[in-house]
Amino acid sequence: MIVLAGTIGAGKTSLTTLLANHLGSKAIYESVSDNPILPLFYDDPKKYAFLLQIYFLNKRLDNIKNAQENKLDVIDRSIFEDALLFQLNADLGRSTETEVQIYKSLLTNMMEKLTELPSKDPGLLIHVRVSFDTMLDRIQKRGRSFEQISVHPDLYTYYEELNKRYEAWYASYDRGPKMEIDGDKYDFVESKPAADEVLKQIDAKLFDLGSLVG
């Protein structure tokens, strides 16, 4: 499976659609519009952070199972970066260290139970890196009210720190092959030439890995 990673507003969902269509594989999307916990979390992070994390854990495990059905299925966010987000919530006082440790222990145990799968790790992880300014611009453009700084001013600090931490997270990621796309340089959401170039870069990586032939 191919997994997209990156901060909020990086363009993961758009690239998931482009890539799955390009490869003729299945796109597996993060639960957002049908997520009953997410709006509650933005309204009261301290109350709902842990519940939201458990909700995502359940959904991410399903995504990993679903991505085994076809070669080169694409997931637009994965379980492998969730600990980063939840740790940030704890560091900002939105959850507790005890909750983080419980979540990490549960995550480890659940992943160990997936013994029937051919692989639990991505065949390729693609990190879409964007600047903080680009991140804020795209969050504003897509217009989800619960994500807007104008509605929740404290999100500015959360978004700023999240964007910084993704750099370190990607650098330390070691569960398999990885590559990085410059989301500032290549606006694949708005520009077809940029989208074509990004797909060309991903194809080259997949050929190097032996996942594509021809």
Residues serving a catalytic function are 76
142 is in an annotated binding site: yes
Measured CA to CA, the distance from residue 204 to residue 197 in angstroms comes to 11
48 is in an annotated binding site: no
87 is in an annotated binding site: no
Task: Give the residue from 2, 4, 65, 54 showing the smallest Cα distance to 30.
Answer: 4
190 is in an annotated binding site: no
Tokens of 156: 């500015």
Measured CA to CA, the distance from residue 32 to residue 50 in angstroms comes to 17
> How many CB atoms lie under 10 A from the CB of residue 177?
16
30 is in an annotated binding site: yes
Q: 213: helix, coil or strand? A: coil
11 is in an annotated binding site: yes
67 in Cβ contact with 28 (< 8 Å): yes
129 is in an annotated binding site: no
From first CA to last CA, the distance across the chain in angstroms is 19
7 is in an annotated binding site: yes
Nearby residues of 4 by Cβ (< 8 Å), 6 or more positions away: 12, 15, 16, 19, 74, 75, 76, 77, 78, 126, 128
Q: 171: helix, coil or strand? A: helix
13 is in an annotated binding site: yes
User: Looking at the chain, how many residues does it have?
Assistant: 214
Q: Which helix (H) or strand (E) holds 129?
A: strand 124-129
37 is in an annotated binding site: no
54 is in an annotated binding site: no
26 is in an annotated binding site: no
Q: Binding site for ATP: what residues are annotated?
A: 6-14, 138-142
Binding residue numbers for substrate: 30, 42, 53, 77, 82, 147
- Which residues fall in the annotated binding site? 6-14, 30, 42, 53, 77, 82, 138-142, 147
